[in-house]
Chains A and B, each alone.
Chain A
Amino acid sequence: MSRMHYYIAVPFFLLLYFLQTTLIWRLSAENFAPNLLLVATSVFSFLYNERYGLVLGVSFGLLLDITTSPVLGVQALSFLLIFIMVRLFRLILNNEKLLPNVLMALLATPVGSLLYWAVGRMAGYPTHIKYVFETMPRLLLWHAILAAVLHLLFVKTVIRHRGDRKFESEFEL
């Protein structure tokens, strides 16, 4: 059991959702914006044993889809795939370390972007893959920074008895 709770996580994801759809674009002067919910899903999936990444990632992905995406289900599906990917890597990586968490966000970025692009193409939108790759380096940089910030913000809530070296929590997918 971690010290994270839904009454903390839900408002946090809600805040990220509104920032994602409003403020972030006003601050970004170029043709891209970091995907806050994607990074949060990756970080929460990696940090906690509980399925915050799954529940909140898929829920808020669906909300993003309903309110902003041209295709329903694409963000939710990409967040689900990110959750599964991160949980599998969590079997071999230490979830309390900063670098693995940043690495997970970096791996999650192309998963999200490419799935979104592929589905958009299937739906008939003309977005070119070159356009997606052009923004990728800056997206990776911003996602790495965001993942680091979220990790530092929440790592203290990962284990209930952090000082107890014998305390171990069970792992579940």
Chain B
Amino acid sequence: MKWFASHKALSILGAIFLVLIVLLAASVALKDQDTAVGRVARTIVSVAQKPFKAVGDFLGDHVPGMLSDEDLLAENKELEARVAELEEELLLARLDEQELASLTSLSAILNGDGQVAGYNVVAADVVAYEGSSVFNIFTINVGTEAGVVRNSVVVSGDGLVGRVLESGEGWARVISVLDENNNVGLSITREGQTFIGTCQGSGEGTLTGMLLDETAEAEKGDAVYTSGLGGIYPPGILIGKVSKAQLSEETNLMEVTITPATDIKGLKKVGVLV
């Protein structure tokens, strides 16, 4: 006790350190579990964040790319839009009727009146992002009052965004499919044949997956949809496009790298399937 009294500063530091380590360990052990403290804090913060979000939206629209090269970004965006336009034309030519129907319903999502495979869709604004650059997590301004619960699927006009980690009154935290460590069922349709498989976040801004059929084929540019397997994500939502496909020598199965359809850092509005 004498030592603690004479080393007050060190003792306080040690105590804080221990508390944080215990908190961290408990949090890692109870990953994705909801806590009452967290829910109350997020409800309060979600109200306070609204004016900052409005300022952010205004500046974001009028001062784009302040932290990066504006000219290059503008050119890049223009080219991306053109490529997307051309790819969409190509994709539409390939799509079967069912896929076309699911894409049409997806595009209606952001109006708040669309439906995806029996789900109601709730439109939401993105109000806050996670503090670091490590994870792709953000907060939206709808929650339990609109029926948004854990594992509700979040989509944008471009395709799949992710799922709800937790929700409260007026807010929900969404984790991107890029940070998904559970397997997501996927399907790729080529020349009238549909191949299924699974994918998960690679940790490098893409998804990596495997097609569960030795005869399956995939090529760069192929559209990848959710297959509905795995339970969380309903079928027919665009995950992204194949950026790399190669046959695994070990498993003799086709391995694919998928570039997600949605850039979550640029999101302002999303739809939640409830």
A60 to chain B, nearest CB (A): 10
Rounded to whole angstroms, the CA-CA distance of A72 and B205 in the bound complex is 23
Of A30, A35, A58, A119, which one neighbours B68 at CB under 8 angstroms? A30
The answer on a CB contact under 8 Å between A29 and B16 is no
Stretch at the interface among A16-24, A89-97, A151-159: A16-24
The answer on a CB contact under 8 Å between A33 and B129 is yes
Q: Which residue of A lies closest to B63 (CB)?
A: A27
Of A21, A116, A128, which one neighbours B49 at CB under 8 angstroms? A21
Q: Which residue of A lies closest to B165 (CB)?
A: A70
The answer on a CB contact under 8 Å between B68 and A22 is no
A50 to chain B, nearest CB (A): 12
The answer on a CB contact under 8 Å between B204 and A73 is no
Stretch at the interface among B25-33, B108-116, B189-197: B25-33
B199 to chain A, nearest CB (A): 11
A26 sits at the interface (CB 8 A): yes
Rounded to whole angstroms, the CA-CA distance of A67 and B16 in the bound complex is 20
Stretch at the interface among B38-46, B209-217, B219-227, B248-256: B38-46
B35 to chain A, nearest CB (A): 8
Secondary structure of the A contact surface, majority rule: helix
The answer on a CB contact under 8 Å between A29 and B205 is no
B5 sits at the interface (CB 8 A): no
Given A21-B128, A71-B27, the answer on whether A120 and B134 have CB atoms closer than 8 Å is yes
A167 to chain B, nearest CB (A): 23
B113 to chain A, nearest CB (A): 27
The answer on a CB contact under 8 Å between B131 and A123 is no
The answer on a CB contact under 8 Å between A28 and B56 is no
B137 sits at the interface (CB 8 A): yes
The answer on a CB contact under 8 Å between B31 and A123 is yes
Residues of B within 8 A of A64 (CB): 131
The number of chain B residues touching the other chain, given as a range, is 35 or more
Rounded to whole angstroms, the CA-CA distance of A145 and B37 in the bound complex is 35
B86 sits at the interface (CB 8 A): no
Stretch at the interface among A1-9, A40-48, A100-108, A129-137: A129-137
The answer on a CB contact under 8 Å between A22 and B135 is no
Q: How many A-B residue pairs have CB under 8 A?
A: 189
Q: Which residue of B lies closest to A127 (CB)?
A: B203
Given A27-B66, A29-B65, the answer on whether A172 and B24 have CB atoms closer than 8 Å is no
Rounded to whole angstroms, the CA-CA distance of A31 and B48 in the bound complex is 25
Give the contacts of A108-133 with B (CB-CB under 8 A). Answer: 112-113, 116-117, 119-120, 122-128, 130-132
The answer on a CB contact under 8 Å between B134 and A25 is no
The answer on a CB contact under 8 Å between A25 and B265 is yes
B40 to chain A, nearest CB (A): 9
A134 to chain B, nearest CB (A): 8
Give the contacts of B77-114 with A (CB-CB under 8 A). Answer: none
The answer on a CB contact under 8 Å between A119 and B28 is yes
Rounded to whole angstroms, the CA-CA distance of A113 and B24 in the bound complex is 16
Given A27-B67, A28-B67, the answer on whether A75 and B131 have CB atoms closer than 8 Å is yes
Residues of A within 8 A of B204 (CB): 128, 130-131
Question: Which of B9, B20, B53, B266 has most A Cβ within 10 Å?
Answer: B20
Q: Which residues of B contact A (CB under 8 A)?
A: 9-10, 13, 16-17, 20-21, 23-24, 26-28, 31-32, 35, 37-38, 41-42, 45, 48-49, 52-53, 55-57, 59-60, 63-68, 73, 127-135, 137, 139, 165, 173, 175, 179-181, 200-205, 265-266
Would you mind naming 12 contact pairs between A and B with Cβ atoms under 8 Å apart? Answer: A18-B49, A21-B129, A26-B60, A29-B65, A35-B131, A69-B137, A76-B20, A77-B24, A125-B135, A125-B179, A127-B179, A131-B134
Q: Which residues of A contact B (CB under 8 A)?
A: 18-35, 37, 54, 58, 63-64, 66-77, 80, 84, 112-113, 116-117, 119-120, 122-128, 130-132, 135, 138-139, 142, 172-173
- 7 smallest CB-CB distances across A and B, nearest first, come from A26-B60, A128-B203, A72-B27, A29-B65, A73-B23, A26-B56, A126-B203
